[in-house]
Amino acid sequence: MLSQFGKTVVVLEQHEVVGGGAHQFAVNGKSKWRFDAGLHFTVPQHELLLQVACGAAKPPVPCSILGEADGTHDRIALGAFDEAEPKFAIAGDEQMKRSLCERFPRHAEQITNYLNLAQSVQLRFALWVASALLPMSFRLWLLRSPLMSLWRKWASVTTAEAMKALIPGDDEETKKLRAFMTGLWLDTGSPPTRMSFWMQTAVFGGFQKLGVGYPVGGPQEMALAMVEAIESRGGAVFVRTAVSSILMAGTKVAGVQLANGVTLKAARVVSGLGYRTTLKLLPQAATPSRPLATQQACGFVMANIALNGSADELGITNANLWLQPATPRNHYDVFGGIDAFMEAPLKVGVEGMPMGITFPSLKDASWEAKHPGTHCCQILVPISWAHFEKYYIEPSTCESSRHAPPHVGRANQAEYDAIKREWEAKLVSALNHHFPKTVSKLEFCDISTPLTIENYLRSGYGTAIGLDVTPARFVEPEEVEQLDMKYARLPGLWLAGQDALMCGQVCAAAGGMLCALRMLGPLRWLQFAVRAVRLLLPALLTPPKMMKHD
């Protein structure tokens, strides 16, 4: 966006490929299978957001709308191997409401009230996002105003607290309902006992109104579109270019020093590294005296599984499957089940593991033409850094991270490898159970851990989403002020990315656009709005193309 307004933009990327978490990778050079690094789905409107960011005449990367023949794009199951409780399918907001009320008729009024509340909270979230454009004094005034009282009430409590208040009861049916309604929490990267309730309203009752999409050609196409936009306007994008420090001259930012010793002078620096990682690069005089209360979010164990066969032969679709650790054994106490797993992940059975199973190859409309007869599966499991910290070896600051999983040395390598094999056995068993046709069709299974994430993102504690989405981050004035995009203690330094606004590819992209608008100033906002309307009008008048897989 800045390049559209005459700014010379230079992007410094530590990876061998651009995109950060928005790209795909192969394992050990086996390029017939390519796995998503971070984007597992988006909303169809993301293509319009990218179009505006690039200043393109048409969407540079179209997003296909996902769903099976009946529109199902997500399923939630209680317990990995609990077949007694049918899975809950989601195919849009109206279907979701109708199916819940039919399945839990005694709670129909509570379900309706929840979904109505979710919409009200989401409207306040839109105001919270828009307020990021304002100077901090005005933003805090808005957040304290009566208009945002509903936001303050519900964003300040955890999902577990809110769901127990909105759908009270300890009977089995009520606990099953709460388990299904919180079944998409993995999208937020934070357990319900920590996650702000507004995030729950976003993933269950929020984005279902927008639909689910995926960029044609894979997520790296979005990054490449932005590279083209920057370079076509005189900017440059460098890879394998790690920054070792942010420079200061007097009281203002002066540029950056690269890990190889080269200095780049600049009057403005935008950091998308994350809040705490950025602080590590600052001179002591520019660091805040108050430590941020919001902690880093948890990381993930990921199984990247290569499959041989067509979708029909494998019995797979592009719908995500989410498994909740709510079983007869724990009396369907999903919140207790999640916390028990987070405390001792390998001591619980597979039925006690929260996880998401997804098939990225079936989401990409161009995959079949490029890679016939092969498919990819990814299984995502949340996990605390503490369970892997003892194996971590701090890398040299001059090391760059590769785009494909390297053989990075670990402390106590043999024990680390044994733990990865244990994870592989458990996650492959879950895949084979829910998709039995995949048995004997596996080419390989690669396990990544929070240590892998830390190697690529350097986010601190192996987190993929940066700062945790806990209540204080969204309602406490001190936290909101400290996370302002305009870094107060070093004029000229700006913060973008997930930590500056919200986790997720769409919100991170929106955060970057808001940061650019803040930098350009109010006089440019009208010009930007006119340009955006001119660019988007043809696309808005054209219905999106549907992609369905039976």
pLDDT digits (tens, 9 = 90+) for 104-130: 999 999 999 999 999 999 999 999 999
Half-sphere exposure of 364 (CA within 13 A, CB side): 28
Whether the Cβ atoms of residue 422 and residue 226 lie closer than 8 Å to each other: no
Q: Which two tokens stand for residue 539?
A: 């696309």
Asked whether the beta carbons of 435 and 375 are under 8 A apart, the reply is: no
8-state DSSP, 546? B
DSSP string, 132-156: GGS-HHHHHHHHHSGGGHHHHHHHT
> Any idea what DSSP says for residue 263?
E
DSSP type of residue 456: H
The predicted structure's pLDDT at residue 106: 97
Number of other CB atoms surrounding residue 394 within 10 Å? 6
* pLDDT score recorded for residue 82: 62
Assess whether pLDDT exceeds 80 at residue 332. yes
Q: Measured between alpha carbons, how far apart are the two ends of the chain, in Å?
A: 39
* Structure confidence at residue 541 (pLDDT): 72
Q: What mean pLDDT value characterizes the chain?
A: 92
What's the confidence (pLDDT) of residue 544?
52
201 touches 118 (CB < 8 A): yes
How far is residue 386's CA from residue 535's CA, in Å, rounded to a whole number? 47
Residue 408: what pLDDT?
A: 80
Q: Has this prediction a pTM greater than 0.85?
A: yes
Distance (Å, rounded) from C-alpha 98 to C-alpha 263?
60
Of 427 and 365, more confident: 427
Token pair of 476 as six digits? 């406490």
E strand or H helix at 269: strand 269-271
Q: Return d(Cα 512, Cα 117) in angstroms, integer.
A: 29
Q: How confident is the model at residue 546 (pLDDT cuts 50, 70, 90)?
A: very low
Instruction: Report pLDDT digits (tens) over 511-526.
Output: 999 999 999 999 999 9
Give residue 150's Cα distance to chain centre.
25
Q: What is the mean pLDDT of residues 416-430?
A: 97
pLDDT tens profile 239-282: 999 999 999 999 999 999 999 999 999 999 999 999 999 999 99
Condensed to tens digits (0 to 9), the pLDDT of residues 454-479 reads: 888 888 889 988 999 999 999 999 99
**Residue 323: beta bridge partners?**
77, 355
For position 354, what pLDDT does the model report?
97
Any idea how long the chain is?
A: 550
What is the per-residue pLDDT across 11-68, written as a single tens digit (0 to 9) for each? 999 888 887 777 788 888 888 998 888 788 888 888 999 999 999 989 999 998 899 9
Tell me which residue of 58, 63, 28 sits closest to 43, measured CA to CA. 63
Do 355 and 80 meet the contact criterion of CB atoms below 8 Å apart? yes
Residue 492: predicted pLDDT:
98
Please give the C-alpha separations between residue 188 and each of 204, 270, 445, 505, in angstroms, as whole numbers: 11, 25, 25, 11
The CATH number of the structural domain formed by 2-65+214-294+468-540 is 3.50.50.60
Q: Which residue has tokens 């709510």?
A: 326
Helix (H/G/I), strand (E/B), else coil: 48: helix
Using alpha carbons only, give the angle 219, 473, 211 rounded to the nearest 5 degrees: 35
Residue 358 tokens, joined: 């997804």
The values of phi and psi at residue 36, to 5°, are -75, 135
Which amino acid would we find at residue 476? E
Q: Of 98, 75, 73, 96, nearest to 87 (Cα)?
A: 75
Is the per-residue pLDDT at 440 higher than 90?
A: yes
Q: Which residues contact 79 (CB under 8 A, 6 or more apart)?
A: 85, 323, 324, 325, 326, 327, 351, 352
- Helices (H) and strands (E) counted in the chain, each on its own, are 19, 18
Query: What's the confidence (pLDDT) of residue 398?
Result: 55
Query: Which ranges of 435-471 does DSSP label H, i.e. alpha helix?
Result: 450-457
Model confidence at 548: pLDDT above 80: no
Q: What is the pLDDT of residue 547?
A: 47
β-strand partners of 238: 12
Q: What are phi and psi of 412, to 5 degrees?
A: 50, 60
Amino acid identity of residue 17, one-letter, is V
What pLDDT band is residue 406 in, cutting at 50, 70 and 90?
Answer: low
Indicate whether 176 pLDDT > 70.
Answer: yes
Question: Can you give the pLDDT at residue 397?
Answer: 58
Compute the average pLDDT of residues 373-400. Answer: 88
Specify which residues 135 forms β-bridges with.
Answer: none
Q: What is the mean pLDDT of residues 355-359?
A: 96
Task: Work out the number of other CB atoms within 10 angstroms of the CB of residue 430.
Answer: 21
Structure tokens at 237: 């994008």
Separation between Cα atoms, residue 227 and residue 238, nearest integer Å: 10
Question: Comparing C-alpha atoms, which of 275, 86, 70, 104 is closest to residue 178?
Answer: 104
- pLDDT category at 211 given cuts 50, 70, 90 is confident
Contact assessment for residue 509 and residue 50, using Cβ atoms and an 8 Å cutoff: yes
Helix (H) or strand (E) holding 283: none
Q: Which residues pair with 307 in a beta bridge?
A: 375, 442
**Model confidence band, residue 193 (pLDDT cutoffs 50, 70, 90):** very high
Tokens 């370079």 map to which residue?
A: 231
400: confidence class by pLDDT, cuts 50, 70, 90: low
DSSP for 367-401, written as a single string: HHHHSTTEEEEEEEEEE-GGGTGGG--PPPTTPPB
Q: How far apart are CA 27 and CA 404, in angstroms?
A: 6
Distance between CA atoms of residues 59 and 56, nearest Å: 7
Q: What is the pLDDT of residue 365?
A: 87
pLDDT in tens, 74-98: 999 998 666 668 899 999 889 999 9
Distance CA 342, CA 233 (A): 47
In single-letter form, the type of residue at position 429 comes to: S
Q: What is the pLDDT of residue 36?
A: 87
Average pLDDT for residues 151-173, to the nearest whole number?
A: 97
DSSP secondary-structure letter at 284?
Answer: G
Q: How confident is the model at residue 314 (pLDDT cuts 50, 70, 90)?
A: very high
